[in-house]
């Protein structure tokens, strides 16, 4: 049973997460995401990840907005999730940097 804050984790969501975990390479991830998402959805996800990485580098909201094409409001929302979310952004930043997690 999921708590009210975790209501987004349905059986279908868990199935999708399991599919992500089973991917074995960048090429497999690219093929799966390209079939799963529209180009616009991929652009939006890519833009969000770019914002997270630039926030992690300490760049200003305005500079991030200019560089990525995101609004400063979007940068602010992403930073709120980065600081007060589930820790997923930080986990991936550390993992890709060769750190812990």
pLDDT of residue 100 exceeding 70: no
Are the C-beta atoms of residues 75 and 55 closer than 8 Å to each other?
yes
| φ, ψ dihedrals at 40, nearest 5° | -65, -40
Q: Which band of pLDDT confidence, cut at 50, 70 and 90, is reported for residue 6?
A: confident
Q: Can you give the pLDDT at residue 25?
A: 98
Residue scoring higher pLDDT (10 or 2): 10
Superfamily the domain 38-101 falls into:
TrpR-like (1.10.1270.10)
How would residue 2 be classed by pLDDT, with cut points 50, 70 and 90?
very low
What pLDDT sits at residue 98? 86
Give the mean pLDDT of the chain: 92
pLDDT, one tens digit per residue, over 22-46 is: 999 999 999 999 999 999 999 999 9
**CA 56, chain centre distance (Å):** 13
Give Cα 66 to chain centroid, integer Å: 19
Domain boundaries, the chain: 1-36, 38-101
Kindly state the average pLDDT of the residues 83-99: 92
């Amino acid at each position: 049973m999921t708590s009210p804050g975790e209501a987004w984790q349905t059986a279908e969501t868990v199935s999708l997460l399991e599919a992500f975990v089973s991917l074995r390479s960048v090429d497999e991830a690219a093929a799966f995401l390209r079939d799963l998402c529209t180009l616009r959805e991929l652009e939006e996800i890519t833009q969000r990840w770019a914002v997270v990485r630039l926030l992690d580098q300490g760049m200003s909201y305005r500079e991030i907005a200019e560089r990525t094409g995101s609004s400063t409001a979007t940068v602010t929302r992403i930073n709120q999730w980065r600081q007060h979310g589930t820790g997923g952004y930080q986990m991936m930043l550390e993992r890709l940097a060769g750190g812990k997690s």
